[in-house]
């Protein structure tokens, strides 16, 4: 079975969750690659939708897309991405201040970038 | 044409994240047909007969998967409906259960939880889903597995507690059952007031009058309640319409 190098400790993924995921699929590396490829392919598109919703001040669409990204992040153990999505959801629930939302979406962009960079090391 | 995959069982997943059906298929070891939007699933629903359906509570912008459950439940009798959510949103979950969901699983999906829940559900449905499990009285039929109550007028999914009461009465159709006997069968050790008891009895009465032309609950003062039937003057549909409504034809 292939896997991450022993020295690599992920910062944007939950190591324990990844170990569990690997065990759950019986070390099927091909399956993991497929799952993470879906994540890598889809997450930037969802982020673009988030940006579009932010610029269009469409709170409903923003909430939907952030929720969607949060779900994907949870399914692959990308905990920092999940956390920032939760923050944005909370901000939206509190009244959608545009400035604060824009700041959080900027943070989301950085975290998503780092998360995607780290994918290659965790599978 | 019904999608059969030979004798193979399959599930249906409705989630806008395509990772979800992939994980469900791998973890349950049962083929799943993935749908990302409600309209696609509804368009295909007449040709499907899944053993279980996994439905995301929060779909697209204005879609909630749970609103499909009552419609799909009528089409897919015996199917287990499991809602998927990443939140602990009690209101959304309560609504999902009101609409007929059997169970809930939380993201991230975990195989142990998924397998345990699905296996228990499938086992329970396999046991109860045969035609022998349908309880009948006069022109009504009740399926305890799906809580579907059907009669010549209409069919509906009734709440779990009302279902238990009806199940116990249908199992003893010729007998007047005492209040304490029904309480013990349906509430077990829980102490329940007479007001709460009669509220549920009243609900069961309401459900029966909605689906049936003549079946009702008869109160016997100081003794208990029983099922009664008075044949309506107008002709009723053929008795096999109940079987048809329960999907046994």
| Structure confidence at residue B4 (pLDDT) | 42
Closest partner CB to B17 (pick from A34, A61, A71): A71
Under 8 Å CB pairs connecting chains A and B tally to 49
Q: How far is CA B239 from CA A115, B67, B154, B156, B186, in A?
A: 62, 31, 13, 17, 29
pTM over 0.80: no
The set of residues, in sequence order, having a beta carbon less than 8 Å from that of B190 and lying 6+ positions away, is none
- Residue pair A123/A72 in contact (Cβ under 8 Å)? The answer is no
* Stretch A93-102: mean pLDDT: 88
- Residue pair B173/B227 in contact (Cβ under 8 Å)? The answer is yes
Closest partner CB to A64 (pick from B17, B27, B61): B61
Tell me, rounded to whole angstroms, the distance of Cα A72 from its chain centroid: 6
Record the tokens describing residue B101, joined without a space: 């969901």
Contacts of B107 in chain A (CB under 8 A): 71, 74-75
- Residue pair B16/B56 in contact (Cβ under 8 Å)? The answer is yes
ipTM greater than 0.90: no
The answer to whether the peptide bond before residue B66 is cis (omega within 30 degrees of 0) is: no
How is the beta sheet containing B140-143 ordered, strand by strand?
B135-137, B140-143, B148-150, B155-157
**CA B151/CA B26 separation, integer angstroms:** 40
* Stretch A103-107: mean pLDDT: 97
Coil, strand or helix at B249: coil
Tell me, rounded to whole angstroms, the distance of Cα B217 from its chain centroid: 22
Please count the other Cβ atoms lying within 10 Å of the Cβ belonging to residue B173: 14
Task: Determine whether B97 is exposed, middle or buried from the number of CB atoms within 10 Å of its CB (0-12, 13-18, 19+).
Answer: middle
Which of B13, B14, B15, B19 should one mutate to test binding to chain A, selecting the residue with the greatest count of A CBs within 10 A? B19
- pLDDT above 70 for B130: no
Residue the block writes with tokens 């459950």: B69
Closest CA to B162 of B148, B151, B175, B173: B148
Record the tokens describing residue B243, joined without a space: 């079987």
Q: Does A40 touch chain B (CB under 8 A)?
A: no
Ramachandran angles phi, psi of B169, nearest 5°: -70, -40
DSSP state of A27: T
- pLDDT above 70 for B183: yes
Q: Which residue has the higher pLDDT, B115 or B234?
A: B115
Q: Does A35 touch chain B (CB under 8 A)?
A: yes
Closest partner CB to B23 (pick from A61, A75, A77): A75
Q: Does A80 touch chain B (CB under 8 A)?
A: no
| CB within 8 Å of chain A, chain B residues 84-143 | 86, 107-111
> Which pLDDT band holds residue B128 (cuts at 50, 70, 90)?
low
| Structure confidence at residue B138 (pLDDT) | 86
State the helix-helix crossing angle for A59-76 and A98-122, rounded to 10 degrees. 20
Question: CA angle at residue B240 from B236 to B245, to 5 degrees?
Answer: 95
Q: Which residue has the higher pLDDT, B89 or B236?
A: B89
| Structure confidence at residue A67 (pLDDT) | 92
Closest CA to A59 of A85, A103, A89, A99: A89
Most confident region among A34-48, B79-93, B106-120 by mean pLDDT: A34-48
- Residue pair A120/A13 in contact (Cβ under 8 Å)? The answer is no
């Amino acid at each position: 079975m292939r896997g991450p190098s022993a020295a690599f400790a992920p910062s944007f993924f939950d190591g324990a969750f990844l170990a569990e995921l690997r065990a759950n699929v019986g070390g099927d590396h091909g399956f993991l690659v497929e799952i993470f490829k879906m994540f890598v392919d889809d997450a930037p598109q969802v982020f673009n939708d988030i940006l579009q919703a932010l610029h269009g001040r469409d709170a409903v669409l923003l909430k939907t897309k952030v929720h969607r990204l949060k779900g994907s992040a949870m399914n692959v153990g990308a905990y920092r991405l999940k956390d920032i999505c939760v923050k944005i959801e909370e901000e939206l629930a509190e009244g959608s201040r545009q400035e604060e939302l824009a700041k959080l979406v900027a943070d989301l962009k950085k975290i998503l970038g780092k998360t995607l960079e780290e994918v290659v090391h965790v599978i | 044409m019904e999608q059969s995959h030979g004798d193979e069982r399959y599930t249906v997943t409705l989630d806008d994240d395509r990772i979800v059906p992939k994980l469900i298929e791998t973890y349950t070891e049962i083929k799943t047909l993935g749908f990302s939007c409600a309209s696609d699933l509804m368009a295909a629903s007449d040709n499907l007969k899944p053993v279980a359906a996994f439905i995301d509570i929060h779909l697209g912008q204005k879609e909630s998967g749970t609103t499909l459950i009552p419609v799909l439940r009528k089409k897919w009798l015996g199917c287990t409906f499991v809602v998927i959510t990443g939140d602990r949103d009690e209101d959304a979950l309560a609504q999902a259960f009101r609409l007929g969901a059997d169970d809930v699983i939380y993201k991230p999906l975990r195989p142990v939880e998924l397998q345990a829940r699905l296996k228990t559900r499938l086992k329970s449905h396999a046991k109860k889903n045969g035609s022998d499990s349908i309880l009948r009285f006069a022109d009504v039929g009740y399926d305890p597995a799906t809580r579907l109550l059907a009669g010549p007028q209409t069919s509906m999914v009734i709440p779990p507690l009302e279902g238990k009461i009806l199940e116990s009465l249908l199992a003893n159709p010729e007998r007047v059952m005492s209040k304490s006997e029904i309480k013990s069968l349906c509430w077990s050790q829980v102490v329940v007031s007479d007001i709460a008891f009669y509220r549920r009895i009243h609900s069961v009465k309401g459900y029966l009058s909605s689906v049936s032309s003549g079946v009702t609950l008869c109160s016997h003062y100081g003794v208990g309640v029983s099922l009664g039937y008075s044949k309506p003057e107008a002709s009723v549909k053929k008795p096999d319409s109940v079987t048809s409504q329960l999907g046994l034809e």
